[in-house]
Amino acid sequence: MTVTIGVLALQGDVREHLAAIEASGARAVPVRRQSELEAVDGIVLPGGESTTIDKLLRIFELFDPLRAAIRDGLPAYGSCAGMILLAERITGGLPDQQTLGGLDMTVRRNAFGRQVDSFETDLVVDQVPDSAVDPVHAVFIRAPWVEEVGPGVEVLARVESGDAAGRIVAVRERDVLATSFHPEITGDVRLHRLFVQIVADRR
C-alpha cells in the first residue's frame, strides 16, 4: 500500500519536496490545514525561514496539532529550517521563537553564516545506501548545525572538512529525521527514500 506524505506548505521548498517524495514512490500532498494533516502518514518540514514558518503555523492554527501529532508518533523529516523546527532546543533564535520538538537535540540557527556563506560538500550519510562510495551532495544555505544530541539520537552525518569539520548535520531519533542541508534541490532522492521507508515501516 502506498503511503501518503504531507509537505508543510506555508513557506519554503514545498514544490521540490513534493517532487522528491513522489520520485521516492510515495503519494505527496501539500498540508496547510489540520484536516490535511490528519490525512497523512508522515510530514516533511521544508527549508525556508524558521521564524516565519513558526509564525505561519500559529496563524494557520497548525502549530499545536502538528506538535501533538509528532509527539504522538507521526514520522517527520525536516530539512534546514525544518531541522530547527524539530529541535527541542535552539540557540541563536529570536526571543519568542518556538519549536515543534520531536528530536532531543540543540541546534544553532544560521550556524554556517549568512546567505553569502552558503556552500556545497559531499557527505557520507549513515542509513543512506551506497553513500560511502557515492556520497550525498549536500547544499547548505544559511543552515543550522546540531550542537548536541540526547542519548536516543543517532548522528547520521558530520561535515568532513573545512572550518566546520566535525559538525553534526544529519540526525535521526526513532521516526524523526532531520538534515541541515537541502537534498530536495539536488536530484538525489536517497534521503527522501529513507524517509518514505521510515513512514512505511511505521505504518
Residues known to be catalytic? 80, 182, 184
Q: Which of 196, 195, 119, 200 is nearest to 160 (CA)?
A: 119
Q: Which of 15, 85, 16, 17 is nearest to 56 (CA)?
A: 85
Q: Which three cell numbers stand for residue 148?
A: 548536541
Q: Which of 116, 100, 103, 119 is nearest to 165 (CA)?
A: 119
What's the first-to-final CA gap in the chain, in angstroms? 10
Q: Which three cell numbers stand for residue 189?
A: 532522492
- Gap between the Cα atoms of 37 and 6, Å rounded: 7
| DSSP state letter for 153 | P
Q: Which three cell numbers stand for residue 66?
A: 502538528
